[in-house]
Amino acid sequence: MIPTVEWRDGTVRLLDQSRLPEQVEVLVCRDYETVARAIREMKVRGAPAIGVTAALGVALGAQSLAEARYEEFAKAMMGICDHLAATRPTAVNLFWAIERMKRALAGLRGEPVAVIKRRLLDEAQRILEEDIAMNKAMGRHGAELIRDGQTILTHCNAGALATAGYGTALGVVRAAWEQGKKIRVLADETRPVLQGARLTAWELMQDKIPVTLITDSMAGALMRQGRIHLCLVGADRIAANGDVANKIGTYSVAVLAKAHGIPFYVAAPHSTIDLATRSGEEIPIEQRAPQEVTSVCGGAPVAPLGVDVLNPAFDVTPAEYVTAIITERGVFKPHELATRFRS
């Protein structure tokens, strides 16, 4: 598969997810503004992927600066970081990655600017590689929770496409599949942007992992019929009390799962855990354009012109609905995160 995001020949290359599955196209970003636009327009999306992309965007911005003295260079870098941070508000991985790049920059004070530019790129590459390694570790821990023959419901896309590679929730699925477990994924289509239909179904089919596509409204009936054994989703931000922000519709899945006695698991790396945010109530929820709701993927309108629309891109699932959180350090109860991840 073409990588979700990579650095090549002085550019940031992104698999353009807004065009999948019809077109498999790579967007070549030659400046940090194009990287920022790609994040805002969801050409790259998914919490870990936008963090990695922003880090590479910071490194790309650094290469273009002409400032030769540290003070001026660092000031210009802050402008680049602010520009990239203003793209999407909910996924904390974006801010986590940018903060890490800022720390790297601060630690390089005194070095020649040419060296700083190289080291910033090294740091961004490390963020990318660590993301893949964390996903594989998460896969190993999470696969223990999946038994042969089970059907797993997922929502949105928390796969290789949403990360630098392998995936969080779908990384767990991949690991179970690689262990030889005969499993099936039920993919919620995930209105309005259809990440489940366009991306999860496509990604799993590429890997020949059995997948069945359903509309979001079908999950409850299938749970009642005993056809779903567990739910497994990713996260955009997990608060200190274990509340989980993820794609709109996740909360409904969690409530349904609890009502039917089905485990509801969240897979996320430490870059998604935000101990500075006390509870889900403090998590900023991105509101997106009404057109995403009044038409399907920018096609013909499906609603009367001028209708009032709500379009929150994420919701918060309270910790009490989350059976456990799968991380690269192991599987924890939501309330355990604050102590386990205090660094």
* Sign of the CA dihedral with 139 first, then 140, 143, and 144 last: negative
Q: How far is the CB of 108 from ligand MRU (least distance, A)?
A: 30
Q: How far is the CB of 135 from ligand MRU (least distance, A)?
A: 8
Residues facing 265 on adjacent strands: 232, 324
Which pair of tokens denotes residue 332?
């924890």
Q: Which is nearer to ligand MRU, 10 or 312 (CB)?
A: 312
Of 168, 277, 317, 323, which one interacts with ligand MRU (CB under 6 A)? 168
Q: Annotated catalytic sites, by residue?
A: 236
CB atoms within 10 A of CB 109: 10
Of 15, 91, 172, 257, which one interacts with ligand MRU (CB under 6 A)? 91
80-98 in b/e form (b: 16+ CB < 10 A) is bbebbbebbbbbbbbbbbb
Q: How far is the CB of 150 from ligand MRU (least distance, A)?
A: 20
Position 6 contacts ligand MRU (CB under 6 A): no
Position 163 contacts ligand MRU (CB under 6 A): yes
Residues 174-193 that bind ligand MRU (CB under 6 A): none
Distance (Å, rounded) from C-alpha 58 to C-alpha 65? Answer: 11
Q: How far is the CB of 163 from ligand MRU (least distance, A)?
A: 5
**239: enclosing H helix or E strand:** strand 237-239
Position 327 contacts ligand MRU (CB under 6 A): no
Distance (Å, rounded) from C-alpha 331 to C-alpha 299? Answer: 42
Distance (Å, rounded) from C-alpha 72 to C-alpha 69? Answer: 6
Position 271 contacts ligand MRU (CB under 6 A): no
Distance (Å, rounded) from C-alpha 321 to C-alpha 242? Answer: 10
Q: Which is nearer to ligand MRU, 80 or 244 (CB)?
A: 244
Size of the site for ligand MRU (CB under 6 A): 17
Q: Which is nearer to ligand MRU, 241 or 246 (CB)?
A: 246
Q: What does the binding site for ligand MRU look like in residue numbers (CB under 6 A)?
A: 45-48, 91, 156, 158, 162-163, 168, 195, 234-236, 246-247, 313
